[in-house]
Amino acid sequence: MPFVLRSALLAVLFSSVSLQAAELLNASYDVTREFYKDFNPAFVQYWKEKTGETVTINQSHGGSTKQARSVVDGLPADVITMNRSADIDILAQKGKLIPANWQTRLPNNSVPSASPTVFLVRKGNPKQVKDWDDLVRPGVTSVIPNPKTSGNGKYSYLAAWGYITQKGGDAVKARQFVTELFKHVPVLDTGGRGATTTFAQREIGDVLVTFENEVYLLQKELGEDKYEVVYPSVTVLAENPVSLVDKVVDKKGTRKVAQAYLEFHFSPQGQALAAKHYLRPQVSEVAQPAFKKLHTFTVKQVFGSWNEAENTHFSDGGIFDQIYQK
Amino acid sequence: MASQKKKHLLPGFGLSLGYTLVYLSLIVLIPLAAVFLRTTELSWHEFCAVVTTPRVVATYKLTFGASLLAAVINLVFGLLTAWVLVRYQFFGKKVLDALVDLPFALPTAVAGIALTAIYAPNGWLGQWLEPHGIKVAFTPLGVVVALTFIGLPFVVRTVQPVLEDFSAEAEEAAASLGANRWQTFYKIILPAIWPALLTGFSLAFARAVGEYGSVIFIAGNMPMISEITPLMIITKLEQYDYAGATAIAVVMLVISFVLLLLINLLQWWSNHRHGNK
């Protein structure tokens, strides 16, 4: 009896190991759902042709910070794909799940795709919004998600700040500008999709400040004739980094396939799929769709690092909090 | 044995108390203890600093103020609804009765989205209210509306059975002894349903304090104006500030506990008073 039990246990153990070897969990943020619905089957096919193995990829989506927290708290994700490097840094800082230099392990600082922050206005652009300065004109209101709870909101805030400093303005000017800008924001939604709903369904605000890929998805969903995209003269480029979760892949024995999955993001096929979903490919030129050339900056270029940006602007009592203090 | 233990009428007291304690510990006490433990990462000074920033204090005022207001609204209209459902027969009563439970069953996010859609400036109700200067969605008023919605079933469902048990004869007796309608209500009915009303009130209040899902859509979440305390907790978590989040949670817990204790005391006191009569 004990022998039977033991062998049964072993069988269960082995079968689960072999099962796990062919299964990946990708912890991602909210608006990549549509992208990974295309990307994952493409990788599965690629991996099958290359190795003969069948791999299953499971997706977990949610607010980016919430997802990162889940992984720190033990969600066994093999790979993490976020829209801010800070949400992957936390895996090194809090969970010791990955090495601190994780960004050096893949091409282009582990950033396969990116999306600039742009404006969406209502058809005909009734308020004649052309650039950041127009957002603080009397009578113009903008919908921006709360920078304290949303990566999208953080990028919008930093884009406005960077617009001033890139033009040669100093920190005092930039601070005045973002303070004025957020006085023109009637609703602070907790996430990017919430802001989109407020703008599109509730018809609140003249301008929605959000990622370019979100803008295109919205136009596809709600019709191209209802809104217009406005490209500001200068804006931030929101980079979407990816990483292995070392502790998880080593435990599950999935490092090889997880690594291949991430590298596939940088392959011509992966890059083309990103472009198809209006994410700007970062390592290779893709013909379609033609992205408008923009003057962009990254968070690193203007703010040094995400850590510094967080501490100065979004921490408790930071510059963003001071906007609302009377 | 000299000191004979008092025998309980029902057997199994020790065993069932044991189960109760284990159950309460697992489900309530241990998670709550973890919350308190987590705040010990902060010094007393840091703790005070976190929970007394003007922005956080503004959220306490809104959360507890709006919850109290919503519970009071539900106290009045919940009683009315229960009264109508118990005392009158009319077509469609069963449907109306079932509707009362809807706020229980509905995912709170759905409630929030639906309420926002209705009260937004372009919504069914919002478009009529807006020209009169009444803004509901994206203001503290919207928070009260959402909290009233989710709290409705509590008062109705606690008062309803008591009203059903309350015989109409007592009212008739009061009337025949010369009491007018108001006296009948105030002296006869109200004392009988008062404990149930208070229970319903405290349940509605407690539920409102902790509500997040439905409020977040309708509040607009403007700092110092329409942020609720649970949002502050989420905000802290979004910044990976676990200790700060639990610090605010502890303050909420303590305030809620004290308020519920007060309501219980009030209930005990009123029972006592009426019991002595």
CB contact under 8 A, A186 and B138: yes
The single-letter code of the amino acid at A11 is A
Rounded to an integer, the average pLDDT of A185-214 is 90
Region A114-238+293-323: CATH code: 3.40.190.10
Residues of A in contact with B137 (CB under 8 A): 202
Q: How confident is the model at residue A225 (pLDDT cuts 50, 70, 90)?
A: confident
Residue A88, pLDDT score: 94
Model confidence at A237: pLDDT above 80: yes
Q: Which of the two residues, B168 and A146, has the higher pLDDT score?
A: A146
- Looking at every residue in chain A, the average pLDDT score rounds to 89
Q: List the domains of chain B with CATH numbers.
A: 44-276 (1.10.3720.10)
CB contact under 8 A, A190 and B55: no
Chain B interface residues facing chain A, Cβ-Cβ under 8 Å? 50, 53-55, 113, 116-117, 120-123, 137-138, 216-217, 220-224, 231, 234-235, 237-241, 244
Give the one of A65, A204, A324 whose C-beta lies nearest to B55's C-beta.
A324
CB contact under 8 A, B234 and A190: yes
How far is B216 from A280, CA to CA, in rounded Å?
32
Map residue A104 onto helix, strand or coil.
helix
Residue B11, pLDDT score: 76
The separation between CA B129 and the C-alpha centre of its own chain, rounded to angstroms, equals: 27
| Nearest CA among B64, B41, B20 for reference residue B253 | B64
- Give A32-58 pLDDT, tens digit per residue: 888 999 999 999 999 999 999 999 999
Q: How confident is the model at residue A94 (pLDDT cuts 50, 70, 90)?
A: confident
Model confidence at A15: pLDDT above 50: no
CB contact under 8 A, A202 and B234: no
Q: How would CATH label the architecture of A2-111+241-281?
A: 3-Layer(aba) Sandwich (3.40)
CB contact under 8 A, A188 and B137: no
* Pairs of residues, one from chain A and one from chain B, whose beta carbons lie less than 8 Å apart: 73
Rounded to an integer, the average pLDDT of A139-167 is 94
Q: What percent of chain B has pLDDT over 70?
A: 96
Angle at CA of residue B28, ends B23 and B29, nearest 5°: 95
Model confidence at A10: pLDDT above 60: no
Rounded to an integer, the average pLDDT of A276-281 is 91
Q: Which of the two residues, A134 and A15, has the higher pLDDT score?
A: A134
Residues of A in contact with B53 (CB under 8 A): 316-317
Q: What is the DSSP letter of A279?
A: P
State the nearest Cα–Cα gap between A72 and chain B, in angstroms.
10
Rounded to an integer, the average pLDDT of A251-268 is 94
- Cα-based torsion angle of the residue sequence B22, B24, B28, B30 in order, rounded to the nearest 10 degrees: -20
What are the 10-residue block averages of pLDDT along chain B, 277 residues in total? 59 86 91 87 90 92 96 95 92 91 89 91 88 89 95 94 87 87 87 90 93 90 90 87 91 91 86 64
Using CB atoms within 10 Å of the CB of residue B52, give its burial: 0 to 12 exposed, 13 to 18 middle, 19+ buried. exposed
- Let me know: does A119 contact A229? Beta carbons within 8 Å: yes
- Looking at every residue in chain B, the average pLDDT score rounds to 88
Residue by residue, what is the 3-state secondary structure of A4-69?
HHHHHHHHHHHHHHHHHHCEEEEEECHHHHHHHHHHHHHHHHHHHHHHCCCCEEEEEECCHHHHHH
Residue A274, pLDDT score: 93
Which of B48, B221, B242, B246 is the best substitution to test chain A (most A C-beta atoms within 10 A)? B221
Residues of A in contact with B116 (CB under 8 A): 202
| Nearest CA among B236, B241, B226, B212 for reference residue A148 | B236
Cβ neighbours around B15 below 10 Å, total: 9
Residue A13, pLDDT score: 47
Residue A1, pLDDT score: 43
Residue B1, pLDDT score: 44
**The two three-digit tokens of residue A99, written as one number:** 């090495």
| Nearest CA among B96, B77, B75 for reference residue B85 | B96
Q: Which residue of chain B has the CA closest to A193?
A: B217
Cα atoms in the Cβ-side hemisphere of radius 13 Å centred on A222 = 18
Residues of B in contact with A91 (CB under 8 A): none
CB contact under 8 A, A65 and B238: yes
Residue B6, pLDDT score: 63
In chain A, CATH 3.40.190.10 covers 2-111+241-281, 114-238+293-323
Give the one of A148, A189, A317 whose C-beta lies nearest to B238's C-beta.
A148
Residue A102, pLDDT score: 95
CB contact under 8 A, A315 and B239: yes
